[in-house]
Amino acid sequence: MTPRPASTRAIHLQPLGEDVPLEFLDSLAAALARTFGLSCHVREWTPDISTAFDAGRGQYYSTAILQQLMPLAALEEGVRLLGVTQEDLFVPVLTFVFGEAQLGGDCAVVSLHRLRQEFYGLPPDENLLFERAVKEAVHELGHTFGLRHCRDWECVMASTHAVERLDLKRPEFCEGCRHAIEAGKDEG
């Protein structure tokens, strides 16, 4: 477990869309609480993210979602806000992203869309979906604590552009990234 940074009291998980199961978010919150040593809560109301939809791509622009989350994060001091959606996310220079975060900010977003085995034509695997979601959530929250991508390919902060690569990572920080979070520095 990583000691909590002094300026952060809690992590809130924000469902983005009606189809994100609260039970799944509760389990994810418990895993994040263990990883970060912080209180984690699930918000039960869902903001409308339809303005982030790009009809030409059939995806949601993750940066626009982050901009919508920023005022929601500011409602409580010392809270990091992680939006969780079933929608497919993109940024203009990439075909898709598993998530996005404000480096050193208060907000991040992750998508379960491409973390599901069904996306790849395979049978559902809820355990694998959960493992992937934990890794992606820890990764994006790591960015909010100032961590950049790590060179250690097993570290949760390693850059990931394919689900197969995500499966190879550990769900925790390497020693260097763990120390960076503990020290509150922008290392990794």
Tell which residue, 94, 104, 108, has the closest CA to residue 139: 108
To the query of whether residue 182 is one of the catalytic residues in this protein, the response is no
Instruction: Summarize pLDDT for 46-63 with one digit per residue, the tens.
Output: 899 999 999 999 999 999
87: DSSP letter: S
Tell which residue, 15, 11, 46, has the closest CA to residue 29: 11
Instruction: Summarize pLDDT for 69-93 with one digit per residue, the tens.
Output: 999 988 888 899 999 999 999 999 9
Could you give all domains of the chain from N- to C-terminal order, each with its CATH number? 10-181 (3.40.390.10)
pLDDT at 75: 84
Interatomic CA distance for residues 89 and 10, integer angstroms:
25
The CB density around residue 25, as the number of other CB atoms within 10 Å, is: 21
Interatomic CA distance for residues 107 and 69, integer angstroms:
7
pLDDT at 2: 46
Catalytic residue of the set 140, 164, 172, 175: 140
Distance (Å) of CA 138 to CA 11, 48, 68, 120: 11, 24, 21, 23
Interatomic CA distance for residues 42 and 185, integer angstroms:
28
pLDDT at 18: 79
Q: Is the entire prediction scored with pTM above 0.85?
A: yes
